[in-house]
């Protein structure tokens, strides 16, 4: 009896379980576990982000073995930026270490000409890396950015000596202070002014103007303080390193109202002293080209300030007028007519062409033909512009102007949705990157027409295939990728594969940066495994790590930042 009851129970259990077993055999679509999106379960998003963080850690470890210090610093800085939200203490340490590594790049002793050239390259590299790193740090922690800037040692200059020399390296370091001040001005204007004053003590110059104008609209008192500080340096600057004329735009804008009366009078006094010190020797016929040009510049400077002298410093008016008379005798009559007339600022095309034809100076003639060609281009007449450009004697300038005309005409044709015209000028572009940019604009312009965009992507691929295999071609593929991912992710993966094929055929490291792989960043946000596999298939260690870093960013950076870059359907 008991056995019958047990058998019956087993049959009932099987009966209840059978439907569940059958249902369990159905194929139910599962979410892509390699993709981060809002519809994905939170635990899967966390698992995928953890995988990306683990891969990012490996990228950071591998970067230490790179021989290319520039790429190593870039990778480490970008890793610090990505992990900032999850581990701020470690990210800060990474930023500090990377910034210190930039200073260590300077190893060339500029004793010979060859060494001097190498030293200049190092200075350029250091300046570029510092700027890139500080841009990342500033958006995370402005105070940390300021601390890093102040860690760069600068020499104290004696502005009272007759001859002042500042090394290129020190000029770039001083520029760092002003760049950081511009980034801080809206966040902490007091700190911005302190950095700017430190920069002025070591590298006086017109770089202060941009900051002065920004401060004038937010804190006029601070602006006046900084302007007065600049004037103090002009007064001390016996070597003339700080040209008083460089501050004129600040005084002349807004009818002189940017400055207090005391600051304005102080500036005019310095301008009067400058003008009275100028001597043009016996070059009264304008035959000395350099002297004539300098006199023309000073003449224009003095004329612009003349109304301000009349109103604010009349006791110096006669001195300024005497300087104007002296300079007018040096400036060529034709130039004087241009400076003195009230004609329209924009010359008409025929006037420019006539003046160019009559000019006996080849450099002036080329300049006038260039202006005329650009004016013709601005009137939407590329054929006329190209015919004028052919008259330019300097081959390099002529090629550059032709390129600008074709690029401008191609962009205008894209806006007008005139594909034949866009293709005509696009094919004439000598620069592969420009061609890629125009192709990208066409793809985005016709993104609502999948068939046409597919054809355009194919046309671009066919055109690029005939170009020489080099880093510039790889960059062109990557530019095209940026546009492609906005309309078709699957085609984007194909374009990325073409870029990788080119990179793997190029010997030696290229000058690529993380931002070159922003298209891959978007692709990895759609399929992390596929994006990472592509990144790891790049044979060059430096390029591969940069691409892997981009793939990790695709998963780890906030979704709204990715959406702002591209929209993939």
Q: What is the pLDDT of residue 193?
A: 85
Burial class from Cβ neighbours inside 10 Å (0-12, 13-18, 19+) for residue 111 reads exposed
User: Rg for the chain (alpha carbons), in Å?
Assistant: 32
CB neighbour list of residue 424: distance below 8 Å, 6 or more residues apart: 413
Residue pair 134/149 in contact by the 8 Å Cβ criterion: yes
Q: How far apart are CA 315 and CA 89, in angstroms?
A: 62
Phi–psi pair at 540, nearest 5 degrees: -70, 125
Q: How far apart are CA 127 and CA 484, in angstroms?
A: 33
Q: What is the pLDDT of residue 9?
A: 39
Q: What is the pLDDT of residue 24?
A: 34
SS3 state of residue 338: helix
157: left (phi over 0), alpha (psi -120 to 50) or beta: beta
Q: How far apart are CA 171 and CA 163, in angstroms?
A: 16
Alpha helices in 278-361 (DSSP H): 289-312, 317-328, 333-340, 349-358
What angle (nearest 5°) sits at the alpha carbon of residue 156, between those of residues 151 and 159?
145
Distances (CA, A) of 179 to 152, 214, 344, 359, 455: 13, 13, 36, 42, 44
Q: What is the pLDDT of residue 261?
A: 87
Q: What is the dihedral of CA 402, 405, 408, 414, to 10 degrees?
A: -90
Q: How far apart are CA 289 and CA 296, in angstroms?
A: 10
Q: What is the pLDDT of residue 443?
A: 92
Q: What is the pLDDT of residue 241?
A: 56
Cα distance from N-terminal residue to C-terminal residue, the chain: 67
Q: What is the pLDDT of residue 104?
A: 81
Q: What is the pLDDT of residue 381?
A: 87
Q: Tell if the pTM clears 0.85, that is, is over it.
A: no
pLDDT in tens, the chain (569 residues): 444 444 443 433 333 333 332 223 333 333 455 555 555 567 788 888 999 999 999 999 999 998 888 889 999 999 999 999 889 999 999 999 999 998 887 654 444 444 444 456 777 888 889 889 988 998 899 889 888 988 877 655 444 444 445 566 666 777 777 788 887 788 788 888 888 887 776 665 667 888 888 888 888 888 888 888 888 877 776 545 567 888 888 888 876 677 788 888 898 988 888 888 876 655 545 456 677 777 888 888 888 898 899 888 888 888 888 888 888 877 777 666 666 554 444 457 888 888 888 888 888 898 889 989 988 888 788 999 999 999 999 999 999 999 999 999 999 999 999 999 999 999 999 888 899 999 999 999 888 888 888 899 889 888 888 888 888 899 999 999 999 998 888 889 999 999 999 999 886 555 788 889 999 999 999 999 999 999 999 998 989 999 999 999 999 986 545 544 544 43
Distances (CA, A) of 162 to 138, 241, 244, 245, 279: 38, 10, 17, 19, 18
SS3 state of residue 158: coil
Q: In this structure, what DSSP letter does residue 391 have?
A: T
DSSP string, 478-519: HHHHHHHTTT-HHHHHHHHHHHHHHHHHS-S-----GGGGHH
Q: How far apart are CA 376 and CA 561, in angstroms?
A: 40
Tokens 């191609």 belong to residue:
410
Structure tokens at 493: 């993966």
Structure tokens at 183: 């980034």
Residue pair 177/131 in contact by the 8 Å Cβ criterion: no
Q: In this structure, what DSSP letter does residue 316 have?
A: G
């Amino acid at each position: 009896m008991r056995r019958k009851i047990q058998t019956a129970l087993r049959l009932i259990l099987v009966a209840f379980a059978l439907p569940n077993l059958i249902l369990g055999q159905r194929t139910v679509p599962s979410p892509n576990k390699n993709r981060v999106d809002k519809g994905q379960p939170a635990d899967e998003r966390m698992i995928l982000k953890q995988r990306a963080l683990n891969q990012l850690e490996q990228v950071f470890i591998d970067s230490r073995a790179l021989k290319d210090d520039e790429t190593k610093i870039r990778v480490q800085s970008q890793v610090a930026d990505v992990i900032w939200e999850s581990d701020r203490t470690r990210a800060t340490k990474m930023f500090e270490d990377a910034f210190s590594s930039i200073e260590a790049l300077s190893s060339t002793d500029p004793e010979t000409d060859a060494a001097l050239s190498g030293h200049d390259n190092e200075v350029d590299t250091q300046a570029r890396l510092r700027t890139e790193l500080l841009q990342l740090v500033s958006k995370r922690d402005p105070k940390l950015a300021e601390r890093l800037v102040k860690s760069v040692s600068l020499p104290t200059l004696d502005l009272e000596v007759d001859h002042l020399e500042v090394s290129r390296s020190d000029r770039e370091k001083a520029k760092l202070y002003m760049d950081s001040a511009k980034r801080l001005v809206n966040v902490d204007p007091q700190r911005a002014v302190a950095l700017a004053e430190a920069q002025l003590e070591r590298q006086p110059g017109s770089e202060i103007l941009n900051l002065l104008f920004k401060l004038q609209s937010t804190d006029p008192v601070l602006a006046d303080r900084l302007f007065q500080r600049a004037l103090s340096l002009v007064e001390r600057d016996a070597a003339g390193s700080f040209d008083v004329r460089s501050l004129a735009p600040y005084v002349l804008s807004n009818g002189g109202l940017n400055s207090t009366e005391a600051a304005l009078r102080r500036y005019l006094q310095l301008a009067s002293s400058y003008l009275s010190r100028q001597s043009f020797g016996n070059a009264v016929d304008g035959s000395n080209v350099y002297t004539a040009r300098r006199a023309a510049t000073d003449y224009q400077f003095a004329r612009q300030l003349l109304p301000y002298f009349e109103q604010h410093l009349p006791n110096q008016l006669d001195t300024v007028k005497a300087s104007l008379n002296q300079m007018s005798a040096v400036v060529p009559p034709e130039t004087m007519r241009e400076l003195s007339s009230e004609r329209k600022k924009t010359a008409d095309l025929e006037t420019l062409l006539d003046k160019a034809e009559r000019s006996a100076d080849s450099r002036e003639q080329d300049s006038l033909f260039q202006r005329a060609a650009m004016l013709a281009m601005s009137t939407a007449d590329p054929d006329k512009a190209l015919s004028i450009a052919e008259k330019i004697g300097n081959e390099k300038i002529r090629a550059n102007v032709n390129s600008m005309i074709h690029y401008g005409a191609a962009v205008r044709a894209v806006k007008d949705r005139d594909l034949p015209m866009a293709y005509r000028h696009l094919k004439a572009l000598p620069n592969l990157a420009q061609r890629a940019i125009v192709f990208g604009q066409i793809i985005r312009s016709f993104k609502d027409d999948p068939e046409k965009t597919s054809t355009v992507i194919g046309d671009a691929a066919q055109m690029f295939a005939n170009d020489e295999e080099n880093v510039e071609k790889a960059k062109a593929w990557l530019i095209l990728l940026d546009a492609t991912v906005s309309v078709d992710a699957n085609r984007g993966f194909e374009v990325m594969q073409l870029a990788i094929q080119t990179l793997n055929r190029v010997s030696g490291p290229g000058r690529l940066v993380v931002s070159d792989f922003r298209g891959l960043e978007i692709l990895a946000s759609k399929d992390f495994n596929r994006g990472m596999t592509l990144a790891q298939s790049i044979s060059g260690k430096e390029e591969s790590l940069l691409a892997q870093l981009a793939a990790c960013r695709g998963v780890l950076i906030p979704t709204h930042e990715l959406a702002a870059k591209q929209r993939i359907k």
